[in-house]
Structure 1
Amino acid sequence: MRKTYHGSCHCGAIHFEADIDIRANTYRCNCSICSRNRFWPAIVAPGAFRLLSGQSDLTKYLFNTKRHEHYFCKHCGVRPFGIGRTPEGHQIYGVNLGCLDDVAPKELAEAPILYVDGQHDNWSAAPLVTSYL
């Protein structure tokens, strides 16, 4: 069941809300950027994400295939969300669960995690080792 959550970056310059089913899969990826900053997203459709404030405070970072847009607050450096494309070309938003202001720790503890091998652009398989993610 989807619920509307509110989130922000660390300094509060960026605020958003997103309709997320935390009981659906959340993701951990071993690509170079996700593993370095411990990005833990829930994936939502574009209509389920709303940036409420801070558009001008965001910095976009692209690398590798440039298929995924990584957004950071230019003040505090926190990555509240990203915009990507599925292998079929559909736009998706990755909402960083660590940036949700009103999620209960119990909800996070019970969230199922799907591990993906982004390091090898293999989004349908888990990497061989996941314990560090």
Structure 2
Amino acid sequence: MTRPDPDQPLNGGCHCGRVRFEVRLKEGYSQARRCNCSYCAMRGAVALTARTEDLKVVKGASDLTRYVFNTESAQHYFCSHCGIYTHHQRRSNPQEFGINAACIDGLSPFDFEAVPVHDGQHHTKDGGTDEVLGVLRFDKK
């Protein structure tokens, strides 16, 4: 399957379809990443980067629920019906959203052969570095 053209606005949504959005990715698919912070490690999503003004929830904004923890800086959004994480406002850069790649129509986290994993346990806002700790790989048979 061919991935959707990242230079065009992309459509996406949650599993049950109550939440739908349109997004333009800041740097296409080149910024795909994972994080090892306590929340992201359990969530396991591949995140893509969008500027906050480049994400528009076109349906179901009232169905989104927000989750915050620790410093309450990052804002994580998920559908209150099916529970799927759609996006989050980044702690490291509040002018950016991390978009769940699996929520973009025609895209899958398995479309990425290698995804860098950033050190979210030692966050830059806590004196850490934005170090890449490793790479998560998916080798298609």
With the length of structure 2 as denominator, give the TM-score of the two structures.
0.78
Distance 1:84 1:12 in 2: 24
Partner-residue secondary structure (3-state), 1:47: helix
Equivalence for 1:16: 21
Q: Which runs of 4+ in 1 moved over 6 A?
A: none
- Counterpart selection for 2:104 from 100, 103, 106: 100
Alignment of 1:103-122 (within 5 A): 103=107, 108-109=111-112, 113-121=115-123, 122=128
> Would you say the 8 A contact 1:13–1:54 is kept in 2?
yes
Q: Classify 1:123/1:62 alpha carbon distance in 2 versus 1 (closer, same or farther; 3 Å).
A: farther
Say if 1:23 and 1:8 are closer, same or farther in 2 by CA, change over 3 A: closer
Q: How does 1:58-77 map to 2 (within 5 A)?
A: 58-77=64-83
Q: Match for 2:22: what amino acid?
A: E
1:124 corresponds to which residue? 130
Q: What is the RMSD computed on CA atoms of the aligned residues?
A: 2.4
Instruction: Give distance in 2, aligned partners of 1:93 and 1:57.
Output: 18
Q: Give distance in 1, aligned partners of 2:108 and 2:69.
A: 33
Identity %: 32
Larger RCO: 1 or 2 (CA < 8 Å, sep 6+): 1
The answer for unaligned runs of 5 or more in structure 2 is 1-5
Checking the alignment, whether the CA contact within 8 Å between 2:101 and 2:108 is kept in structure 1 is no
